[in-house]
Amino acid sequence: MDFSSFIKKEGRTLPVFLLVDISGSMQGEKIETVNVALKEMISVFRKIENPKGVINLCIITFGNEKIEVVKPLSEIDDADYYEFTADGDTPMGSAFEKVAAMIEDYNIVNSRSYIPTIALISDGNPTDFTDYDESMQPEEIKSWSSLKILHGGIRSSKAVKLAMGIGQDLDIRILNAFINNNSIPVIKAQDNGTITKFFEWVTMSIRVRSVSVNPDIFNVDTDTFDKDEIEWP
């Protein structure tokens, strides 16, 4: 007898990568609000029932003089609890290259997975983009080697990219270049409330995709935000 028809197929994963800036510019209330919002995101993900796409979460931090895969890409469990502190420089480019390498690695993101989502939380001021200056045009910024690696990958180029900028000295152009999609805006944190709303927005978009007929489709809905919190390319 052929028992193959009775074997339950493993669910397709919906990979979510969070790139969290924990550099010195994120100190104080900003990183504390990120910690609280991340805790709520994980709680919502954990409660989703009968998803078409099983959410796998990866958290990568950059700051404190290094990048670190705090949570390897995996399902969410009760042990997932994180409290970040902020200090040091902003090796954002290294974080872009790391997440691109992970997405391209079939041992990490298997071939059956849905299109990944990458959510970036930062002030948009990388310290490892040594050639950068404010006179650069958008296409020149996109020629940054770290962004070329992220946007040039067979699979990382297709990832849904979302970004929130934090701080008065926010460099919106870096975040726009990261998203690389004119139909998706950068979210600007006017206050800690925007940080919370951004995490809620990402959470809701992933939750909707996880139970939809086709989790590869991402629909942009910015009604969550005030007009001054949205920056279109």
Report the pLDDT value the prediction gives residue 10, as an integer from 0 to 100: 60
CB 82 within 8 A of CB 38: yes
Of 2-11, 32-41, 117-126, 149-158, minimum mean pLDDT range = 2-11
- Full-model pTM: 0.90
Tens of pLDDT, residues 127-186: 999 999 888 998 999 999 999 999 999 999 999 999 999 877 788 999 999 999 999 999
**Is 41 part of any domain?**
yes
Buried residues in 53-64 as b, exposed as e (16+ CB within 10 A): bbbbbbbbbbbb
Segment 37-54 mean pLDDT? 83
**What integer best gives the mean pLDDT of the chain?**
89
Q: Is residue 147 part of a domain?
A: yes
What is the predicted pLDDT for the residue at 8? 46
Q: Which two tokens stand for residue 228?
A: 């001054």
Q: How many whole angstroms separate alpha carbon 135 and alpha carbon 12? A: 44
Domain annotation covers residue 15:
no
**Is residue 4 assigned to a domain?**
no
Residue 79's contacts (CB-CB under 8 Å, 6 or more residues apart) are none
Look up tokens 């690695």; give the residue: 105
Whether residue 61 is contained in a domain is answered as yes
Distant-in-sequence contacts of 142-146, Cβ < 8 A, 24+ apart: 142/177, 142/180, 144/93, 144/177, 145/93, 146/92, 146/93, 146/94, 146/96, 146/97
Question: Which residue segment(s) compose the domain that 50 sits in?
Answer: 20-231
- What is the number of domains present in the chain? 1
Decide if 2 is inside a domain. no
Structural domain contains residue 1: no
Which CATH number covers residue 179? 3.40.50.410
What's the start-to-end Cα distance of the chain, in Å? 59
